[in-house]
Amino acid sequence: MRRHILTGATAAACLLVPFQAHAVSGPAPAPQLSAAVWDKCEAALDSPHESHTNPDVINVHADLKGCKQKMPEYSISVTLYKEGQQVAHNTGSGKNKFKARVVANWPPPKGQCHDYSASATFTVTADGKAHSTTLTNHSQGKICIK
Amino acid sequence: MNRYSIFLAVTDRTDRPDPAFAVTTFVVETGRVGEADERAASALDGLAPDATWPGLEPAVRREVVSRVRAVPHHMADHTEHDRAPARSASPLGDCLHSLATDGSFADIVTQPYTVYVAGGYPIDAAAPIPFLTDASAVHPDAEAHYPALARLTTLLASAAAFSIDAAAPDEEDLYDAFDRYTLGGLA
């Protein structure tokens, strides 16, 4: 069945039922931890979860968001662990941004179930001063790749 | 083989009293670009051709975000020209230079890539803009090659201000559908 998305005031009322039915079929968003970094910007690290686009891959997202003004400089470093052992690491950095997201991901061998954790360090540098915070998060129980 | 397929949408209002110029970029690994276009077509099925993100109802935004999460991608970026674009010789060149030299994109352009321009913006592929001249190919008609990815890129352009709004909920933020993204001004 084709679903149709409409613009205008009637869209939500007409389409709420099929849209909700579609939405609940996907994985729920991974719970996030967050902390203030600089100005109104916050750092956020979600719970390691199975990728939506690559079902055989474990993902964790590290975000800087919520800023009311652009971050003069930022950096994000995120590491994914399988039962305490590092399996993936990624970094991102840039200048003059409102928001940024970096991902660390890892494709475990099929048929394995593991607990995952992640740690990320976020830094915003403004007026020559570095503002940093580090967050750690855990998977919601074991994640099994079949 | 090209490693990346880079889709561009240009927002150009430099002829208006409140000048604004921005380049929105959506990157897909070339090996998955066909699959990405199919999934984007499914994700955007039924959207009015002229739909913009601010014009969608919240429930529709949430549903589109949920669907777009399934689209294979490498990253998304929205770069605003925040330094008087009307007085720049090439606002497009400024944005593409910033993109190519700052952050995660700097790694992407060290690999072979093809550029697809969405929305009919008249890009001169021969213009002395390294981002374009270094590309394996520049297609000014993204819609003729990958129509759904072209549509997704133009929708991302219209969704940027909403995403930048610090009060916007994540589940209605189109950029939240992606594993890597950046939004901001010139580096």
DSSP per residue over B53-115, as a string? GGGS-HHHHHHHHHHHTTS--SEEEEEE--S-GGGSS-HHHHHHHHHHHSTTHHHHTTS-EEE
pLDDT at position B65 is 97
Q: Return the percentage of chain A with pLDDT > 90, whole number.
A: 73
pLDDT at position A52 is 87
Structure token pair of residue A14: 């007409």
Candidates A32, A53, A27; CA nearest to A107 is A53
Inform me whether the pLDDT recorded for A23 exceeds 50. Answer: no
**A chain contacts of residue B184, beta-carbon cutoff 8 Å:** 70-71, 94, 96-100
Instruction: Chain B: give the shortest CA distance to residue A61, in Å.
Output: 7
pLDDT band (50, 70, 90) for residue A55: confident
Stretch B106-123: mean pLDDT, rounded? 94
Worst-scoring range by mean pLDDT, A28-37, B51-60, B81-90? A28-37
Of A7, A59, A70, the CB nearest to B179: A59
pLDDT tens for each residue of B81-109: 999 888 888 999 999 999 999 877 888 99
Inform me whether the pLDDT recorded for A27 exceeds 60. Answer: no
Q: What chain B residue is nearest to A31 in terms of C-alpha separation? A: B170
The interface predicted TM-score of the complex, written ipTM, equals: 0.94
pLDDT at position B111 is 95
**Contact assessment for residue A119 and residue A78, using Cβ atoms and an 8 Å cutoff:** yes
CA distance B14 to B25: 19
Worst-scoring range by mean pLDDT, A43-47, A91-95, B34-38, B105-109? B105-109
Q: What chain B residue is nearest to A53 in terms of C-alpha separation? A: B70
Stretch A90-109: mean pLDDT, rounded? 96
Burial class (CB in 10 A: 0-12, 13-18, 19+), B55: middle
Structure token pair of residue B136: 């394996």
Of the CATH numbers 3.40.50, 2.30.30, 2.60.98, 2.60.40, which one belongs to the domain with range A29-145? 2.60.40
pLDDT at position A5 is 41
Asked if B67's CB is within 8 angstroms of A22's CB, the reply is yes
Q: Which residue has the higher pLDDT, A113 or B104?
A: A113
Instruction: Enumerate the domain spans of chain A.
Output: 29-145
Worst-scoring range by mean pLDDT, A66-75, B97-106, B158-167, B177-186? B97-106
- Give the count of alpha carbons within 13 A of B43, CB side only: 29
Q: What chain B residue is nearest to A70 in terms of C-alpha separation? A: B184
CA distance A125 to A16: 43
pLDDT band (50, 70, 90) for residue A14: very low
pLDDT band (50, 70, 90) for residue B20: confident
SS3 A16: helix
Stretch B8-19: mean pLDDT, rounded? 84
Query: Other C-beta atoms within 10 Å of A136: how many?
Result: 12
pLDDT at position B17 is 67
Asked if B175's CB is within 8 angstroms of A96's CB, the reply is no
**Contact assessment for residue B109 and residue B100, using Cβ atoms and an 8 Å cutoff:** yes
H/E segment holding residue A28 = none
Q: Which domains does chain B have, with CATH numbers?
A: 4-185 (3.30.420)
pLDDT at position B151 is 98
SS3 B133: helix
pLDDT at position A146 is 83
